[in-house]
Amino acid sequence: MSSIIWRFGRDDGGQDAGFHDPGVETFRGDFNRYLARELIQNSLDAVADPHKPVKVCFRLERLSRKTIPDIDSLCASFNRCAEYWHGQKKANAFFQEAARLAGESEITSLRISDYNTKGVRGDDNDREKSWYNLVRSSGSTDKAAGEGGSFGIGKNAPFAASALRTVIYSTHYDERKYAFQGVAKLVTHLAGSGEKCLPVGYLGDNGNSVRDPALIPQEFRRKSQGADILILGFKASDSAWQDDLFHSVLSNFWPAIYFGRLEVEIGAHNVGKENLEDMLGLFSELEGFTAHLYHHAFAHPTLQKTDTLRHLKEASIYLLTSDNEDMPKRVIMVRKTGMTIYSRRFNSLVPFCGVFLCTNDIGNEILRSMEPPKHDQWDSDLPERGASKKYEREYVKFIREAIVSLAPVDNSDHIEIEGLNRFLPDDGAENENPFETPKGEEASQEVAVEPPNFTVLPRKAPSPRPTPNPASVELTDTPAGPDEEFEADDGDDLKPSPKSKPHPRPQPDTSNPLKPNGVSVPIGFRAFCADPAFGRYRILVIPLERDANLILSLVAVGDDQTVPIPVASARLADGSSPVAVNAHGQIGPIFCERGTKKLFDVVLKESVRYSVELLAHEVAQ
């Protein structure tokens, strides 16, 4: 054991490396989430027998200090790091605490072991094999097409979870081959001799990995094929670490578990295909946990659609609607690994959740290339700016069309809806695109209400999907915030409005509450929700083609329907006078001059936030 020592290479005049290592910083914060995602993903990529599940075990251990080779030398390095960076409070405090923990008789560690995997193959200098890319390099990967990782960054996740920034690797592969190595990612510091040292140190045979199983300490030697990763100084918070890891495993890998590709054991508990639904049920009451809904959507969909897309090839969408669930109105994205990449929100008047699945090799490789180092998004600007926009448009269109088919557009002359807010977006922001939430936006909580009661008279043949009213064009400038004055400057940029021929003066026709005379008037508009608690909106209207006596109607917009929004009261924003509101909850009639802005404060009959469109129709004077 005496031949196994810590060694930090000498820095011959290189640049100092500080505390904020970019790779480690990537996974700071909710490290348990990324720890499970990255390590399980690596194990799935190394499956030995694809007909059996990979098993990954997480075990918290109290390692005796005496079992860790050359721990005194590592502790001394922590003290030298603290001294070298004494002027930086954060770095100094971290390494002082690391030295204290390394000096205790027992060190809390997390051991992650996988089974039915190939192990980590290769020697210290074989750049084409897994061992070199996992242990001996930074930012490199040997992952092939179809596998999970692509940046070589995920291996830093264990270091983010270590209070010592130290990880030990041990593997058994190819029947009789073994490898053992410790890695510490510290900072530039001085050796005992006064020479400057590199920040990364290796525990092994003079810096090399240990290959003779007789020299590998018993506590770290693998008994069967596979790999162990030990996180020294694991940042465990009493028993919560198990719940945190299970939360992450269920949220991120329920598809892989459902497909029978993965089993996970955390402490004394495990989850596999047989008890997946039960485990999802146990966590279903936790705030923010939604994996059980997506699992139900996949296993028991209201609608399932598979198609061969032009670029991504075969893909499937599974959608679930329910009046009894607080549905997130999101679709989770899954590819070949069986790991959920991220969820994307789509506005809909019908509550739903869904699963998008692409497992063919061509589509999987395209989508993998769109993922950042954390593998938590499909970014249309990866692998370079704008390179993947056509792929994003393709799968978004496929998903939207499926959502539209959940509920055909209702073009009836009259519709009355109770509990309208159950069907409308309440994501807390006015989106530039009225049909979806921008990438990365977190889901908001919706208010549960009784199922809606529809009264529809009469019903016409459904249209394929709603389209924005061509005579109503939203201004392209950003809506004002709560503390900003809401008005348009002379330089406001209006999107081009369709040219129209002069209209004859209309004759009154009140058969349709949205079309009092059958003639729409092109307008530019902005709508800003000033106070969702009271249903207060501020609306800016600019007639684009001529003076007109207008009736203004607000409608809620979704991917699958448009629904009138009744207004309770309205007045000019300057407070000068109220504006009439008719029996259908429409504003007006009110005279508006061409090119002149009119600013209204309105209160809706229902106090919720909507994604809105404004319609304007002319009445005879």
Residue 493, amino acid? D
Least confident of 415-419, 530-534, 568-572: 415-419
Q: CB atoms < 10 A from the CB of 575, how many?
A: 8
Outline where DSSP puts E strands in 385-535.
414-417, 454-457, 472-474, 523-531
Tell me what pLDDT residue 613 has.
80
Residue 177 banded pLDDT, cuts 50, 70, 90: very high
What is the torsional sign of CA 44, 45, 49, 50?
positive
CA distances from 424 to 328, 354, 414 (A): 11, 17, 19
Residue 26 or 541, more confident: 541
Provide the mean pLDDT of the chain. Answer: 79
What's the average model confidence in pLDDT over 65-93? 94
What's the average model confidence in pLDDT over 437-446? 40
What's the average model confidence in pLDDT over 158-166? 92
User: Residue 597: CB partners within 8 Å, gap ≥ 6?
Assistant: 487, 488, 540, 541, 542
Q: Give the β-pairing of 226-234 and 262-266.
A: unpaired
pLDDT over 90 (residue 529): no
Cα–Cα–Cα angle for 562, 531, 606, rounded to 5 degrees: 45
Residue indicated by tokens 């605490």: 97
Residue 521 banded pLDDT, cuts 50, 70, 90: low
Residue 168 or 546, more confident: 168
Q: Hey, is 91 helix, strand or coil?
A: helix
Question: At residue 60, what are phi and psi to the nearest 5 degrees?
Answer: -85, 130
pTM over 0.85: no
410: DSSP letter = -
Tell me what pLDDT residue 29 has.
61
What span, in angstroms and rounded, lies between the C-alpha atoms of 167 and 489?
59
What span, in angstroms and rounded, lies between the C-alpha atoms of 416 and 564?
9
Question: At residue 146, what are phi and psi to the nearest 5 degrees?
Answer: 95, -15
Burial of residue 282 (CB within 10 Å: 0-12, 13-18, 19+) is middle
What span, in angstroms and rounded, lies between the C-alpha atoms of 599 and 191?
71
Q: What share of the chain is helix, strand, coil (3-state, %, to 5)?
A: 20, 30, 50
User: Residue 34: CB partners within 8 Å, gap ≥ 6?
Assistant: 27, 154, 157, 160, 374
pLDDT over 90 (residue 3): no
pLDDT tens per residue, range 326-341: 789 999 999 998 999 9
Tell me what pLDDT residue 423 has.
42
What is the length of the chain? 621
Q: Is 7:205 a contact under the CB 8 Å cutoff? A: no
What span, in angstroms and rounded, lies between the C-alpha atoms of 423 and 426?
9
Cα–Cα–Cα angle for 218, 219, 221, rounded to 5 degrees: 60
> What is the SS3 string spanning 46-59?
CECCCCCCEEEEEE
Residue 621, amino acid? Q
What span, in angstroms and rounded, lies between the C-alpha atoms of 176 and 458?
77
Q: CB atoms < 10 A from the CB of 20, how many?
A: 12
* CA-atom Rg of the chain in angstroms: 30
pLDDT tens per residue, range 472-481: 555 443 333 3
pLDDT over 50 (residue 528): yes
pLDDT over 80 (residue 493): no
pLDDT over 70 (residue 458): no
Which residues lie across from 317 on neighbouring strands? 305, 356
pLDDT tens per residue, range 265-311: 998 899 999 999 999 999 998 888 999 999 999 999 999 999 999 99
Tell me what pLDDT residue 393 has.
95
**Token pair of 244 as six digits:** 């945190």
Q: Is 220:204 a contact under the CB 8 Å cutoff? A: no
In angstroms, the first-to-last Cα distance of the chain is 98
pLDDT over 50 (residue 358): yes
Report the candidate in 214, 254, 273, 347 with the shortest Cα–Cα distance to residue 53. Answer: 273
Outline where DSSP puts E strands in 130-248.
162-173, 177-185, 189-190, 196-205, 226-234
Report the candidate in 398, 453, 393 with the shortest Cα–Cα distance to residue 422. Answer: 453
What's the average model confidence in pLDDT over 24-47? 79
Residue 153 banded pLDDT, cuts 50, 70, 90: low
What's the average model confidence in pLDDT over 4-10? 93
Question: At residue 351, what are phi and psi to the nearest 5 degrees?
Answer: -70, 135
H or E element in which residue 543 lies: strand 536-543
What's the average model confidence in pLDDT over 199-221? 94
Averaging pLDDT over each range in 194-208, 491-505, 509-523, which range is the top one? 194-208
Tell me what pLDDT residue 553 has.
86
What's the average model confidence in pLDDT over 152-168? 85
What span, in angstroms and rounded, lies between the C-alpha atoms of 130 and 126?
9
pLDDT over 70 (residue 588): yes
Q: Hey, is 457 helix, strand or coil?
A: strand
What's the average model confidence in pLDDT over 372-397? 92
pLDDT over 80 (residue 523): no
Question: At residue 251, what are phi and psi to the nearest 5 degrees?
Answer: -70, -40
Least confident of 219-233, 342-356, 531-545: 531-545
pLDDT tens per residue, range 89-147: 999 999 999 999 999 999 999 999 999 999 999 999 998 888 998 998 875 554 444 44
pLDDT over 50 (residue 569): yes
Angle between helices 240-258 and 276-283 (to 10 degrees): 140
What span, in angstroms and rounded, lies between the C-alpha atoms of 178 and 365?
32
Report the candidate in 314, 309, 394, 306 with the shortest Cα–Cα distance to residue 360. Answer: 314
Q: Hey, is 70 helix, strand or coil?
A: coil
